[in-house]
């Protein structure tokens, strides 16, 4: 329950920031062109609002609704989700949206998308400035990783070390390089000291979606002692120390953490011979495990500490081009992945608020929070510019039609389009969140 509440809090905080920035983009361009904004709300205020305030002499009412599904900026003389037909039936006023030139209306409509994209670039830049860019080079991970069943089926083996996607070196394991692997004709790995080429099928992404698998499950890490539990533990009595790398139990190789755990489970309340490296020298000791098969040590779980990491740091001004590059690459990757949504496997993997909430970590971490918020800002910008009525992109589509043909679609047509778009979006919302519920109860 605590994990659920923490993820829910992060989700609400993140979406609140994104919605406010998005609607402010519409607001600032509307006010720039002297268009009246009647309401500026975080969340929807159907029937009632949690808070509302209208400054003296202002035309705009500010508030917080009770339904946390987004927010809105009600602009005078515009057909939007409010469906204010009474206002639209009256003569156009100079301060209304419909009275302004098409170019100004276009800027008002793209304002939200533009601000969301700028926000993402800014967040990425500040993350690089504050934390830098730290990663563990793939070449350092000498034990490779555990691959999913889908990748086992095409020739990968646990322990393979990634080297190249086609002829391009794979330096790190991140979204960009995983995408290169998916799109490559072949991937080169290091296996038992030799380079091995593995052909990547064209439908690998569909297979992953169908199998509901990820690329790799986790890194394979050695059993290195981080600290001894206490001075009376079996490990302390036997003389094990922090930094010792355990490589065998009872003369059986236990290079990995999982190997050690498996051997200990077979030797509960028993004498075992532990082989380990200390300062490059192979040593051994005998200890007696407790009744649970424990020897009383904590292992080093950090990949950076085990394999060594690389950190690229950025000054304040240098962080902006680096952040812009990261944001643009993230957008390109997301747009490229959208093609899978229109497959059977992709449609079944769609998720709603539950899937979005799962992107946040189970423990509070500001870097992860801001990285996820920046990513969601990219998604919100892209999704809103799609040419679907009821989204900003739908309004932009009709405005571009008006500019090209010099004919404005009728208000009645725009009303029907708005209703159709809202029905489509509600349907997608129900379907995506229905997928979340199905996965929760039947996974």
In degrees rounded to 5, what are phi and psi of residue 400?
-65, -40
| Confidence (pLDDT) at 115 | 96
Q: Measured between alpha carbons, how far is residue 49 from residues 46, 208, 333, 407 in Å? A: 7, 44, 38, 39
Contact 215, 151 (CB under 8 A): yes
Side by side, which strands form the sheet with 194-199? 168-169, 161-165, 186-191, 194-199
Q: What is the mean pLDDT of the chain?
A: 86
Contact 219, 281 (CB under 8 A): no
Contact 331, 382 (CB under 8 A): yes
Contact 197, 187 (CB under 8 A): yes
* Percent of the chain at pLDDT exceeding 70: 91
Q: Higher confidence at residue 83 or residue 43?
A: 43
| Confidence (pLDDT) at 369 | 93
- 180-230: per-residue pLDDT in tens? 888 899 999 999 889 999 999 988 888 887 777 777 777 888 889 998 988
| Confidence (pLDDT) at 443 | 58
| Confidence (pLDDT) at 197 | 93
The yes-or-no verdict on residue 89 having pLDDT over 90 is no
The yes-or-no verdict on residue 233 having pLDDT over 70 is yes
User: CB-based contacts of 384: which residues, under 8 Å, 6+ apart?
Assistant: 22, 112, 113, 116, 391, 392, 393
- Which helix (H) or strand (E) segment holds residue 21: the answer is helix 2-32
Distance CA 263, CA 249 (A): 7
- Judged by average pLDDT, the poorest of 146-155, 205-214, 259-268 is 205-214
User: CB-based contacts of 243: which residues, under 8 Å, 6+ apart?
Assistant: 224, 225, 278
Distance CA 97, CA 76 (A): 6
- 99-131: per-residue pLDDT in tens? 899 889 999 999 999 999 999 999 999 999 999
- Computed from CA positions of residues 412, 417, 422, 424, in that sequence, does the dihedral angle turn out positive or negative? positive
In degrees rounded to 5, what are phi and psi of residue 401?
-60, -40
Distance CA 68, CA 196 (A): 51
């Amino acid at each position: 329950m605590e994990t659920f509440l923490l993820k829910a809090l992060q989700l609400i905080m993140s979406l609140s920031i994104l919605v406010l920035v998005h609607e402010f983009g519409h607001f600032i361009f509307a006010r720039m062109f002297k268009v009246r904004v009647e309401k500026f709300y975080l969340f929807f205020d159907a029937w009632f609002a949690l808070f509302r305030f209208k400054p003296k002499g202002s035309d705009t009412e500010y508030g917080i609704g009770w339904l946390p599904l987004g927010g809105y900026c009600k602009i005078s003389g515009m057909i939007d989700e409010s469906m204010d037909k009474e206002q639209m039936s009256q003569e156009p006023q100079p301060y209304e949206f419909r009275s302004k030139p098409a170019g100004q209306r276009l800027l008002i409509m793209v304002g939200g998308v533009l601000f969301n994209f700028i926000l993402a670039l800014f967040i990425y830049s500040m993350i690089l400035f504050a934390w830098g860019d730290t990663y563990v080079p793939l070449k350092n991970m000498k034990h490779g990783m555990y691959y999913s069943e889908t990748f086992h089926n095409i020739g990968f083996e646990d322990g393979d070390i990634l080297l190249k996607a086609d002829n391009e070196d794979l330096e790190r394991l991140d979204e960009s390089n995983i995408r290169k692997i998916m799109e490559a004709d072949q991937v080169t790995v290091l296996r038992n000291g030799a380079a091995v080429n593995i052909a990547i099928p064209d439908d690998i992404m569909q297979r992953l979606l169908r199998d509901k698998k990820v690329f790799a499950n986790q890194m394979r890490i050695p059993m290195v002692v981080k600290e001894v539990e206490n001075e009376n533990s079996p490990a302390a009595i036997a003389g094990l120390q922090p930094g010792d790398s355990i490589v065998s139990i009872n003369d059986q190789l236990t290079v990995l953490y999982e190997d050690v755990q498996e051997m200990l489970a077979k030797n509960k309340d028993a004498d075992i011979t532990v082989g380990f490296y200390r300062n490059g020298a192979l040593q051994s000791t005998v200890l007696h495990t407790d009744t649970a098969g424990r020897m009383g040590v904590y292992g080093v779980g950090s990949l950076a500490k085990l394999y060594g990491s690389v950190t690229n740091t950025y000054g304040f001004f240098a962080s902006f081009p680096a952040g812009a590059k990261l944001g643009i690459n993230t957008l390109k990757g997301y747009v490229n992945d959208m093609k899978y949504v229109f497959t059977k496997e992709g449609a079944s993997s769609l998720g709603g608020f539950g899937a979005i909430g799962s992107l946040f970590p189970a423990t509070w971490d500001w870097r992860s929070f801001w990285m996820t918020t920046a990513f969601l800002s990219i998604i919100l910008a892209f999704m809103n510019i799609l040419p679907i009525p009821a989204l900003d992109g739908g309004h932009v589509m009709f405005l571009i039609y008006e500019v090209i043909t010099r004919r404005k679609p009728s208000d009645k047509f725009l009303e029907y389009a708005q209703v159709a778009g809202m029905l489509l979006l509600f349907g997608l919302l129900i379907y995506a969140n229905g997928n979340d519920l199905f996965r929760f109860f039947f996974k």
